[in-house]
Chains A and B, each alone.
Chain A
Amino acid sequence: MLYIKCPHCGLRSQNEFAYGGDASVKRPELNKEISDQEWDEFVYLRKSPRGKHLELWHHVSGCRQWIKVLRDTSTHEIFNTYKSEEKVG
C-alpha cells in the first residue's frame, strides 16, 4: 500500500485516496470549436508510461482535495506531491 503525502494533510495511506489518472490532461476550453480527433484524444487517450508519471489522486477519505502526485509507475517511488493549483516542474 502506497504512502502518499497529501500536501494538505501529510503522509496518509493509499486507502484514503482514489486514483484519478493522468494529471497532464487539459480539458479543452468551453465553447471552443475543436476537431473530432482532438476531442477524442482528450476523452479517451491516455499515456501509460513506465517510469515517471504525474497523476491525480483524490483524498476522498481525508480533505477531499484533488492533488498531483509524481510517481514512478514501475517502482512506485513518489518523488513529490503538489496541490491542485501548484505548478509542477
Chain B
Amino acid sequence: MVQSYRLDKIGLVNREKKLSFKFNGKKYFGYEGDTLASALIANGVHLVGRSFKYHRPRGFFGAGVDEPYAIVQLYRNGETEPNVRATEQELFEGLEAKSVNCWPSVNFDIGAINNFLNIFLPAGFYYKTFMWPRSFWYRIYEPFIRKAAGFGVASKEHDKERYEHKYEYCDLLIAGSGPSGLASAYAAAKNGARVILAEDKPRFGGSLLTSDVSINNQSGKEWADNIITELKGMTNVTVKNRAQIFGYYDHNMLVMSERVTDHLPKSEEFTPKQRLWYIRAKQVVISSGSIERPIVFGNNDTPGVVLASAAKEYMKVYGVLVGKKPIVFTNNDSAYETAIEFKKNNINPIVLDSRQDSNSEIIKEAKSLGIDIKFSHVVVAAKGYKKVKSCDIAEISEDKQNLNQIKNIECDCICVSGFWTPTIHLASQSGGKTKFKEEIDAFVPDKSKQKEVTLGSANGVFTLEETLKTSFDKGFELSKEITNNNNSQQIPKVSEKKHSKHDKFWCVPLPKGKKYKRFLDFQNDVAVSDIELAIREGYRSIEHVKRYTTLGMATDQGKTSNLNGLQLVSNIENKVVPAVGHTTFRPPYTPISIGAIVGREIGKHSKPTRKSPMHNWHKKNNAVFVDAGVWLRPRYYKRGNEGLFEASKREAENVRKNVGVCDVTTLGKIDIKGPNAAEFLNRVYTNAWLKLPVGKARYGVMLREDGIVMDDGTTTRISEHHYHMTTTTAQAANVLSHLEYYLQLVWPELDVNVVSTTEQWAGAAIAGPKSRDLLQKLFSDTDVSNEGLPFMGFVEANLFGVNARIFRISFSGELAYEVNVESDNGNFMWEKIIEIGKDFDLQPYGTEALSTLRIEMGHVAGSELDGRTIPYDTGLDGLVSKKKDFIGKRSLLKKAYNEKDRQRLVGVVPLDKKTSIPEGSHLVKDPKGKLPNPKLGHISASCWSVEHNNPFSLAILKDGKNMIGSKLYAMSPLKNKTIAVEIVSSHYVDPKGERVRS
C-alpha cells in the first residue's frame, strides 16, 4: 500500500528499512524511525480510537508524551499491553495494534450513542447517576462502570518480560535534551561534573530537531548531534534516550523510566524491557521544555485537528503530512513555522490568526512565500465526523465576543496553536511554588525548593539565544560549585527569527443558536459546558472542579487541557488565572508500567529466601516446604501417598514413642556479652536472671513497654559474661532492634554488646524418650546422663571431631535436646543424627508435627503471643517476677489487665472427639444467639492430639480459669461450622512436666 501522505525528501526516518505492521488487522508499511502514529498518518489513517465518555472518533492530536487521543492496545512478542500512546511507540517489524474503547469496531462503535444521549452524561454523572437505588450498585452499576472504564485491556497472563531497577548517583541530572539541556550538560560535563542527561524521545535535541535556527552556523539539529556525540564520548557523562524522568522526590531523588527494548520486536535474553533508575543528584537541571496548548473551538476533537507543532514535527522528523489542505489556526507566531514548512513542501496552507495584525520577521517571510494569512479570523467549528472535511471560519471582533461573516471552507486538517505551556511538573513535584507569568499566560516555577533549576522554555524563556546563554552559564556555575573546576565554554552564536507578542485569546465563542461541543480535556471528554455546569452547581476550588468534571484526570493528566480549564474557570468567576490557582502536579509525569515499578521483586524474588544448611537433605528426602517468614522449612516429610495430616501425625507419634529430629536452624540467635549482661537480661525478661549459673539455660518472656508479650525463648549462660539468647523465627530481627534500642538509648551505662548469630549456627532438636540413648552414641566422650546433663543444662561437646553445643531444652514436652554446630557443619551433624538414629527408629519431623507436639503440651507460640496478649493471658503468670522491675512491668498494673474475668489460655476438645476445630473460630455460649453473638474467646491453634487420638485446640477464653469443664460452641462462619466443645486444661499431655525431666 502506498504511503500517500509521505514526503519524499524530508525527515529523519530510515527509508532504506521498510517495516510492516498491522493496525486493526490491516497491514501497512512504515519506515525505521517512525512512531506508530507517524506511520499511520503516512498511510492516511486518522481514525484510531473512540473517546472515553461519548465514544466520539479520535485521531492524533500531538506527536509525543502529551498525546490525549491516540491510545492503542499493543501486541508484541505474544504479549499485550494497554494504554500505549501511538505517538511514543516506535515502529518495529511485525508490530500489531488495535483501537480501544470501541465495539464492535472503531468505524462502527455502538457506544457512540452516548454522544447523542449526552444530556444524560453531564459533569459529575458518576455521582448523579449511580446513587440509587442502593441495591443496584453491585449488580448493575458497578459492572457497567467497569465495562465502560479504562483504555484497553490488561493482560491476564503472567508478564514474561524482565524489568530492572538501578540506583545511580551524579553531580548533575538533566531532564530533557533540548537546547537548555544540551547546553547545561555540555558546560557542566566540560567542567568535570558527573552528568546524567535524559531524553524521553528516541532522538536527542528537543525543539532543535524542528526549529528553523542556526547555532555557530550549523543547523539546530547538526549542533545538537555534535554536542551529543561529544557528550557520549566523555567518561563522566551518561546519556540516555527513551528515558523519562517522571518523578521528583525528597532530597533530590528522581526516578527515571528507561524503555530499553520497547522499540524492538522482542527483548533479547537477559535484557530488560524497561529499567527504572533511582537517581540521587547533587543538582538537577529541569530542561523539560514546553507543550503547545490548543485554542478551543467547536468540535475541536474531530480527527484531523492537531497541534501546529505536531504537524511540523510530523513533517520535519518523519516526513509525513497530517493533511494536504491544511488550516493553521493560531494566536501567535510559532505556528507560522508550520505554515512555512507546509509551503516548502508544496502544500498551500491558510493561516487564521486571531490577532488583528503582526509584522514580525517570520510573518514577513510567510507573506513573501505567498501564504494566505487572514488576521482577526478564527475557526468556529470543525465539520466532518471521522475526519475533518471542512470548517466554519469567521472574522472575530476586537473584543473577541462577536463572530461575523461565518463561512465554510474546505480543509482536511486544522493545525492549532494557542501558544506554549512550560512543562513545570518536575519543578512543582520538588515542592517548589509556581508563579503566573503574564507575558506568556502560563505558570513557571518560582523559587526552587530543592537543589534544582529550571531552564529554557520550561522556565518560560522562548528565545534560543537567552536559553543557550542562561543554560551555558548555569551548567558552568553549578558544576563549579561541585568540582571547583573553572573551565567555562564559549557561548555559541545564534541566529533565530524574532517573534511578536501572542494574543491572550484561547476560546472561540459559540455563534448564536449553535451548540457545538467545545472540548477542553480531549481524553476525558470534558467540554466547556461541563465546567460551566460544575460552577453553576457551586464548585469553586479548582481541585473540586477537577474531580467533579474529571478535567485533567485522564492518563495524559491534562497536559494539553489544564491551562485552558483554568482560563475558563477564571473567566466565569471573573478572576485572574493565578487567583484560581492550579491543581497539584504529582508523579508520575507520564504513565509508568507496573512491571517497571515492581522490577525484579516478583514471585520468589519479592523477598529473600533463607535456607538452612540442611536444606538439600530435606529436599532429597521428600520434604514438603512451608514459608516461615523468609525461611523455607520442611513442613513434613512425605512417605508414599501420605498427605499433610497422615505424615505429620506419623512424625509426631514417633516423637512421643521413639525419637525425632527437627531442623531448628531458623530460630533467632543473639550473642550477648559483657560484664552487665546478667543485669541487662534481668531488665529485658520478666523473670529473674541474676542467679542463673554458668552452663544452665532458662526460659524467658520479654514484654513491650505496654505489657504485651513480645517474644519468648531460652537463654543460656555460656560463661561468666557470655549468654546465648534464642528468639522465635519470626521475631528475631525485632528482638535484636529492641535490645539495641535499650542498650544504646535507655541504658547506655550497661556494658553489654549484642550481635545476631542466627546464621552462624545450625540447629537440630532431638526429641523423644529415646533421645538420650541416641545422644550418648553421638557424643560418646560426653556424659549426657540425667545427672551429667540435667534438664535446662548446657554442655559443649565433640561430635565426631566437630565442636557442638548441647542444650537440654524441650519444645515438644518430651525428653529433648537441641544440638548446635557451626553452620558449615550443619549437614554433617544432620546426617550423623539420621545415620545413628536408625538404631532408635528416628524419623525427621517438620513444622506441622512440631506444632502438634507443642499445642497438645499447652506450650504457647506465635498464635497465642499474637501482639494482643499479656503474660497472664497465656499461662505465663509464674514467669512474672514480683520483686524486680523489667521492661513493661508497670503496664501490668493496669486495671483491665487485672480484671477477674480476664481472658486465659485453655484447651478445647470437640464433644464428638472427631471434628477438628478451625483456627480462628469464635467461642460462644449460644450458637443461635442474636447477632452480634457475644464472643467469649477464639481458637488460636488446632491439632490432632497424637497422645489422645482426637482433635485438640488451644484457645484464649474470657474468664478461662473458671470455664474449665464447661460446654461452649466453636463457630466458624468462614468454614460454615458450628462445633460443640468442652473446655479443658491447656496441658493436655504430661501436665506435671515429668517427661522433660526424666
Whether A and B are associated in the same complex: the answer reads yes
Q: Which residues of A in the span 62-89 have a Cβ within 8 Å of any Cβ on B?
A: 64-66, 75-76, 78, 84-85
Q: Is the CB of A66 within 8 A of B744?
A: yes
Q: B253, B278, B745, B885: which contacts A30 (Cβ < 8 A)?
A: B885
Q: Which residues of B in the span 666-719 have a Cβ within 8 Å of any Cβ on A?
A: 683, 705-706
> Looking across the interface, which residue of chain B has its beta carbon closest to that of A4?
B251
Q: B251, B253, B705: which contacts A43 (Cβ < 8 A)?
A: B705
Q: Is the CB of A43 within 8 A of B891?
A: yes
Q: Is the CB of A3 within 8 A of B891?
A: no
Q: Is the CB of B251 within 8 A of A84?
A: no
A47 in the interface, Cβ–Cβ < 8 Å?
no
The complex places the Cα of A31 from the Cα of B746 at a distance, in Å, of 14
Residues of B within 8 A of A64 (CB): 736, 740
Q: Is the CB of B890 within 8 A of A18?
A: no
Shortest distance between the CB of B710 and any CB in chain A (Å): 14
B111 in the interface, Cβ–Cβ < 8 Å?
no
Q: A2-B250, A30-B683, A64-B740 are in contact. Are A43 and B706 (CB under 8 A)?
A: yes
B252 in the interface, Cβ–Cβ < 8 Å?
yes
Residues of B within 8 A of A78 (CB): 251
User: A residues near B, CB below 8 A?
Assistant: 1-3, 13, 18, 20, 27-28, 30-31, 34, 36, 39, 42-44, 56, 58, 60, 64-66, 75-76, 78, 84-85
Shortest distance between the CB of A35 and any CB in chain B (Å): 10
Shortest distance between the CB of B431 and any CB in chain A (Å): 7
Sample of 16 A–B contacts (CB below 8 Å): A1-B251, A2-B251, A3-B280, A13-B167, A18-B737, A20-B741, A27-B746, A28-B890, A30-B683, A30-B885, A36-B893, A36-B894, A42-B705, A58-B741, A76-B251, A84-B744
B748 in the interface, Cβ–Cβ < 8 Å?
yes
Q: What 18 additional pairs, Cβ within 8 angstroms, besides A3-B253, A20-B741?
A: A3-B250, A3-B252, A3-B280, A13-B167, A27-B705, A27-B746, A30-B683, A36-B894, A39-B891, A44-B706, A56-B745, A58-B737, A66-B740, A66-B741, A76-B250, A76-B251, A84-B744, A84-B748
The complex places the Cα of A41 from the Cα of B918 at a distance, in Å, of 40
Q: Is the CB of B885 within 8 A of A31?
A: yes
Residues of A within 8 A of B249 (CB): 1
| B161-201 vs A, Cβ < 8 Å mask (1 yes, 0 no) | 00000010000000000000000000000000000000000
Shortest distance between the CB of A16 and any CB in chain B (Å): 12
> Looking across the interface, which residue of chain A has its beta carbon closest to that of B251?
A3
The complex places the Cα of A76 from the Cα of B746 at a distance, in Å, of 27
Residues of A within 8 A of B740 (CB): 58, 64-66
Q: A2-B250, A18-B737 are in contact. Are A13 and B280 (CB under 8 A)?
A: yes
Q: Which residues of B in the span 707-744 have a Cβ within 8 Å of any Cβ on A?
A: 733, 736-737, 740-741, 744
Residues of B within 8 A of A28 (CB): 890
The complex places the Cα of A80 from the Cα of B252 at a distance, in Å, of 17
Shortest distance between the CB of B448 and any CB in chain A (Å): 13
Q: A39-B890, A66-B741 are in contact. Are A1 and B683 (CB under 8 A)?
A: no
> Looking across the interface, which residue of chain A has its beta carbon closest to that of B167?
A13
Q: Is the CB of A1 within 8 A of B250?
A: yes
The complex places the Cα of A27 from the Cα of B748 at a distance, in Å, of 13
Q: Is the CB of A60 within 8 A of B746?
A: no
Q: Is the CB of B252 within 8 A of A84?
A: no
Residues of B within 8 A of A31 (CB): 885
The complex places the Cα of A28 from the Cα of B746 at a distance, in Å, of 10
Shortest distance between the CB of B746 and any CB in chain A (Å): 5
The complex places the Cα of A14 from the Cα of B736 at a distance, in Å, of 20
Q: Is the CB of A66 within 8 A of B745?
A: yes
Q: A66-B740, A76-B250 are in contact. Are A1 and B746 (CB under 8 A)?
A: no
Q: Which residues of B in the span 864-902 have a Cβ within 8 Å of any Cβ on A?
A: 885, 890-891, 893-894
Residues of B within 8 A of A66 (CB): 740-741, 744-745
Residues of A within 8 A of B280 (CB): 3, 13
Residues of A within 8 A of B252 (CB): 3
Residues of B within 8 A of A2 (CB): 250-251
The complex places the Cα of A36 from the Cα of B251 at a distance, in Å, of 42
Residues of A within 8 A of B250 (CB): 1-3, 76
Q: B449, B733, B744, B894: which contacts A65 (Cβ < 8 A)?
A: B744
The complex places the Cα of A84 from the Cα of B740 at a distance, in Å, of 11
Residues of B within 8 A of A76 (CB): 250-251
| B747-772 vs A, Cβ < 8 Å mask (1 yes, 0 no) | 01000000000000000000000000
Residues of B within 8 A of A1 (CB): 249-251, 253, 278
> Looking across the interface, which residue of chain A has its beta carbon closest to that of B886?
A30
Shortest distance between the CB of A19 and any CB in chain B (Å): 11
Residues of B within 8 A of A84 (CB): 744-745, 748
Residues of A within 8 A of B736 (CB): 64
**Top 10 A-B residue pairs of the complex, sorted by shortest distance between their CB atoms:** A3-B251, A30-B885, A84-B744, A76-B250, A31-B885, A66-B744, A1-B253, A39-B890, A27-B746, A43-B705
Shortest distance between the CB of B693 and any CB in chain A (Å): 24
> Looking across the interface, which residue of chain A has its beta carbon closest to that of B888?
A43
| B243-280 vs A, Cβ < 8 Å mask (1 yes, 0 no) | 00000011111000000000000000000000000101
Residues of A within 8 A of B741 (CB): 20, 58, 66
> Looking across the interface, which residue of chain B has its beta carbon closest to that of A33?
B890
Residues of A within 8 A of B167 (CB): 13
| B779-817 vs A, Cβ < 8 Å mask (1 yes, 0 no) | 000000000000000000000000000000000000000
Residues of A within 8 A of B449 (CB): 75
The complex places the Cα of A85 from the Cα of B885 at a distance, in Å, of 24
The complex places the Cα of A39 from the Cα of B887 at a distance, in Å, of 12
The complex places the Cα of A31 from the Cα of B882 at a distance, in Å, of 12
Q: Is the CB of B748 within 8 A of A34?
A: no
The complex places the Cα of A30 from the Cα of B745 at a distance, in Å, of 14
Residues of A within 8 A of B891 (CB): 39, 43
The complex places the Cα of A64 from the Cα of B737 at a distance, in Å, of 8
Q: Is the CB of B253 within 8 A of A34?
A: no
The complex places the Cα of A24 from the Cα of B705 at a distance, in Å, of 16
| B415-451 vs A, Cβ < 8 Å mask (1 yes, 0 no) | 0000000000000000100000000000000000100
> Looking across the interface, which residue of chain B has its beta carbon closest to that of A83?
B744
Most buried by A among B449, B736, B745: B745
Q: Which residues of B in the span 434-484 have a Cβ within 8 Å of any Cβ on A?
A: 449
The complex places the Cα of A42 from the Cα of B706 at a distance, in Å, of 10
The complex places the Cα of A85 from the Cα of B749 at a distance, in Å, of 11
> Looking across the interface, which residue of chain B has its beta carbon closest to that of A66?
B744
Residues of A within 8 A of B705 (CB): 27, 42-43
> Looking across the interface, which residue of chain A has its beta carbon closest to that of B683?
A30
> Looking across the interface, which residue of chain B has its beta carbon closest to that of A20?
B741
The complex places the Cα of A44 from the Cα of B894 at a distance, in Å, of 14
Q: Is the CB of A34 within 8 A of B890?
A: yes
> Looking across the interface, which residue of chain B has its beta carbon closest to that of A85?
B748
The complex places the Cα of A86 from the Cα of B449 at a distance, in Å, of 30
Shortest distance between the CB of B801 and any CB in chain A (Å): 35
The complex places the Cα of A75 from the Cα of B250 at a distance, in Å, of 9
Residues of B within 8 A of A30 (CB): 683, 885
> Looking across the interface, which residue of chain A has its beta carbon closest to that of B755?
A64
> Looking across the interface, which residue of chain B has its beta carbon closest to that of A32?
B885
Most buried by B among A27, A44, A56, A78: A27
The complex places the Cα of A34 from the Cα of B746 at a distance, in Å, of 18
The complex places the Cα of A28 from the Cα of B705 at a distance, in Å, of 11
Shortest distance between the CB of A8 and any CB in chain B (Å): 11
Shortest distance between the CB of B875 and any CB in chain A (Å): 24
Shortest distance between the CB of B101 and any CB in chain A (Å): 36
> Looking across the interface, which residue of chain B has its beta carbon closest to that of A67?
B744
Residues of A within 8 A of B253 (CB): 1, 3, 13
The complex places the Cα of A30 from the Cα of B733 at a distance, in Å, of 25
Residues of A within 8 A of B251 (CB): 1-3, 76, 78
Residues of A within 8 A of B737 (CB): 18, 58, 60
Residues of A within 8 A of B885 (CB): 30-31
Shortest distance between the CB of B564 and any CB in chain A (Å): 32
| B224-253 vs A, Cβ < 8 Å mask (1 yes, 0 no) | 000000000000000000000000011111
Most buried by A among B252, B744, B893: B744
Q: Which residues of B in the span 627-664 have a Cβ within 8 Å of any Cβ on A?
A: none
